[in-house]
Amino acid sequence: MLCERCKKRPATVHITKVVGDQKVELHLCEECARELRELGELPPPFPEEFKPFVEGLQPFSSTFFPLPELLQSFFGSFGGKEGSPRERDDDLRCPKCGMTWREFREKGKFGCSECYEAFRPRLAPLFRRIHGASEHRGKSPARDPSSHLKKRLEELRAELRRKVEEEAYEEAARIRDEIRALENELGGRAG
Amino acid sequence: MAEERARSFAPLDGEVDRFLRTPLGAALREEGPEGDVAVSSRVRLARNLREFPFPTAMRPRDAQAVLTRVESALAAFPDAAQYVRIRMGEIPPFARGILVEKHLISPLLAENPAGAVIVRQDEAVSLMVNEEDHLRLQTFAAGLALQEAYREADHVDDLLAAHLDIAFDPRYGFLTACPTNVGTGMRASVMLHLPALALTRTLGQVVEAVQKVGLVVRGIYGEGTEAEGNLYQVSNQVTLGLSEGELLENLLGIARQVIEQERRARDVLLREDRVALEDRIYRSYGILTSARRISTREAMERISDVLLGVHLGLVQGIPSRALRELWVMIRPNFLQYTFGESLGPAERDERRAVLIRRHLKEAMARG
Ligand SMILES: [Zn+2]
Ligand SMILES: [Zn+2]
């Protein structure tokens, strides 16, 4: 490919530039790239020691792992041997969303929460590969749906007492309204 | 044509307009703990409704149904009145761009017309609906405040779980579209300003050390190319097998070490060649307050230098908040909305310079 700018020398520098909300691919030769950098139209090249930062950089809010490289390496390790577990597993299918193990392998994304059940036999090794573990040890969703509301109500009542003691009546009034709303809701659930 | 261009950045309705014009929500205006290096903390929880396919596989009417469910759950929040709902399909592309520039939503959500974001007025809580997962609850706090951010996220998560049937498995935890999020569904991160580590060229070693303990370091702005303005985020990579508390503790410990390294590097710079450092900072100060045309990239670098100067006590009279606001204000969509018209790249560079000069002058006048 020839450099887009001078159309003479071969393009060896490939840059993705963001202009407004559009991504533009630039293919340039070394000289044109250097010139554009001097003009401030292109970012400076990154020094070697920054390389680990540069790879897979993401804006702050985006999904952190859009490319499941780990999945790739995991699935790659099955190899293509005949009669390998890989072929049999391709038959696994989620009854709810219809996703097959093969599709999951290609996309790296589940189709629905039932997929976890459908693919269960294959998931533990995958999760161990990604997370180094296959058992959840964190939070569970509240089983009693009103338990946290009750907890919050207690917190609010304590806060109300504090505000009244501090004579912060405006805030106290706000908290009182919040308590009423919450009490109504709990009442509504019970009834 | 010119009229059409001008109209494309016309003001939106009340509440949404207020979000789009405010560079920093109330939650991030003041500096938080370790604020000389730690800019902000964020906790994100990925959740899904058991009933519907994940957004990656769902039909439009499922998306609508999920949104309706979430909105009715939200209506029962004690502070429901504090939340603003913004549907992606109902706002123009530039407005979605600003929400991305403000970190309130991801670029992925911005591209989904069935997506929505529900933001609390102070911008400490934002709830993305129909991103890669049905729900991505995010909480933000100033400085190094991961525990505080998590407490808030945990609380809002409980409120939601009281009204929604959340996909959860006793063995695998919260079920997510991507296997890299399963378990806690939690991604916690700290945004760090690391100019001295960059200047002393020791960033690479720090990154390597951080990655060895299973955390990830990434740049923050700049659409997948590189970090601008020496802003980096450190976050947990693993989400399964450790509790939320353990994950936060690990991240907190590492973040503290990186912050310490950055402070040491700042001391080294002051000690070894104070004049060189001052020269760099004051030149950047001069450019920000005098330039007539400036690119986003250069602005990011200069803002980083001056912010370093503020934290070292070398630059006086500019509150750090004004500089942190500029990080958002100079972005293309935010900039064009401020001026109310569509601008070409060269025009943007000019207006950016105007906006920076004006903003700094006002900030200095306020003191
Ligand atoms: Zn060329
Ligand atoms: Zn499925």
Give how far A80 is from chain B: nearest CA, Å.
23
Please count the structural domains in chain A: 3
Task: Please tell me the predicted confidence (pLDDT) of residue A63.
Answer: 30
Q: Are A5 and A37 members of one domain?
A: yes
Distance (Å, rounded) from C-alpha A103 to C-alpha A100? 5
Distance (Å, rounded) from C-alpha A37 to C-alpha A26? 13
Distance (Å, rounded) from C-alpha A86 to C-alpha B95? 46
**Chain B: residue whose CA lies nearest to A180:** B78
Read off the tokens for B104: 């309130």
pLDDT digits (tens, 9 = 90+) for A111-160: 999 999 999 988 998 998 888 888 999 999 865 556 656 767 888 888 88
Q: Are A119 and A153 members of one domain?
A: no
Instruction: Using CB atoms within 10 Å of the CB of residue B186, give its burial: 0 to 12 exposed, 13 to 18 middle, 19+ buried.
Output: buried
**Chain A residues close to B53, C-beta within 8 Å:** 96-97, 111-112
ipTM over 0.90: no
Q: Are A152 and A182 members of one domain?
A: yes
If pLDDT is split at 50, 70 and 90, which confidence band does A73 have?
Answer: low
In single-letter form, the type of residue at position B41 comes to S
| pLDDT > 50? residue A53 | no
Which of the listed residues B263, B284, B300 is the one where a domain comes to its end? Answer: B263
| pLDDT > 60? residue A190 | no
If pLDDT is split at 50, 70 and 90, which confidence band does A60 have?
Answer: very low
SS3 B47: strand
Distance (Å, rounded) from C-alpha B108 to C-alpha B91? 15
Could you tell me if A179 and A153 are in contact, meaning their C-beta atoms sit under 8 angstroms apart? Answer: yes
Report the residue from B106, B226, B244 with minimal CB separation from A138.
Answer: B244
The reply to whether A33 falls in a domain is: yes
The reply to whether B268 falls in a domain is: no
Q: Which domain holds residue B310?
A: 273-366
Q: Are B248 and B133 members of one domain?
A: yes
Q: Are B68 and B138 members of one domain?
A: yes
| pLDDT > 90? residue A105 | no
User: Which residues of chain B have a pLDDT value below 50?
Assistant: 1-2, 5, 221-225
Q: What is the pTM of this model?
A: 0.76
Please count the structural domains in chain B: 2
- Chain B residues 78-97 with a CB less than 8 Å from chain A: 78-79, 93-94, 97
pLDDT, mean over chain A: 72
The reply to whether B178 falls in a domain is: yes
| B44 known ligand binder | yes
Q: Which domain holds residue A38?
A: 1-42
Give how far B214 is from chain A: nearest CA, Å.
10
Read off the tokens for A138: 């964190």
Which of the listed residues B237, B263, B289 is the one where a domain comes to its end? Answer: B263
Task: Please tell me the predicted confidence (pLDDT) of residue A75.
Answer: 58
Mean pLDDT of A47-66: 32
Could you tell me if B300 and B188 are in contact, meaning their C-beta atoms sit under 8 angstroms apart? Answer: no
| B271 known ligand binder | no
